Amino acid sequence: MDARPIGVFDSGVGGLTVLHEILVTLPHEDVIYLGDNARLPYGPRPLDEIRRFAAEIGRYLERQDVKLIVVACNSATAAALPELQLSLSVPVIGVLRPEAHAAVLATRNRRIGLLATQATVASGRYDALVESLDAGAELVAVACPRLVPLIESDDPFGEETAAAVREYAAQLKDAGVDTVILGCTHFPLIRPVLQRVFGRDVTLVFSAEETAREVAETLARKRIENEVEREGSYRFLTTGDPDTFREMGYRFLQLPIGEVEQVDVATLEKAAA
């Protein structure tokens, strides 16, 4: 048994949708969640810059003595996962492969859509993953720069969000996709809006459950899981404002959020030096 915590990070609060499934799947594990709110959004940034941010956070969490790291951010996974897996001493799990695998299994006509950030689409990682799983499947990717700010607004289910979803969905509907990957951890929060626009015949895929399952399997395979009889704890860190994180985070996690600790960006930069 290994009592060290699991480290989870995201550019902000979106990764809390992944954390929720980890906490439900592994209630006996301790978790440290770090949201890089001071530098969000990651999506419009160059891939090299996102890669640097991910390396800083990965090193910082490693120094917090975590036993496994989950990159609960699609942009960071797309930009940096291989580099993190090579450079860190603990297992690192991303959110892209579970989604690609679930989408290939779910599609009936082998036409898969992707809604994601500019960085994730530009990386081409989903294209490569889908092709590796089914070379005959077609992936149509659409960058959605307007959605994250709308989802974090005071009216995430309003008409402006619905209009943006209709705009981004049009290309995928024209392509005849029957499965759509929600390639950003923010997007599941507006799943009802997305499902209404696409209709019941289109399957929406999000990686939280599959990612949590991969974490559980990795811990068991490496024999670093915690004792199942205990109740785990979770701790929150942010590079932004703790009060804002707590208020916004509750909407995404749907579980109590207590104290939120602030970590300076300079501290993360020093960790990778």
Q: Name which of 112, 119, 123 is nearest 143 in CA terms.
A: 119
Omega cis (within 30) before 41? yes
**Pair of tokens at residue 91:** 């297992």
Q: 185 CB contacts (<8 Å, ≥6 apart)?
A: 10, 14, 15, 16, 17, 18, 72, 73, 74, 95, 208
Q: Which of 184, 219, 248, 257 is catalytic?
A: 184
Strands, E assignment, 51-195: 68-71, 92-93, 111-116, 138-143, 179-183
Catalytic site includes residue 144: no
Query: What is the β-pairing status of strands 6-10 and 31-35?
Result: parallel
> In angstroms, how far is the first alpha carbon of the chain from the final one?
32
Catalytic site includes residue 184: yes
- Three-state SS at 15: coil
Q: Which of 66, 68, 73, 237 is catalytic?
A: 73
Q: How far is residue 133 CA from its own chain's centroid?
A: 21
Residues labelled catalytic: 73, 184
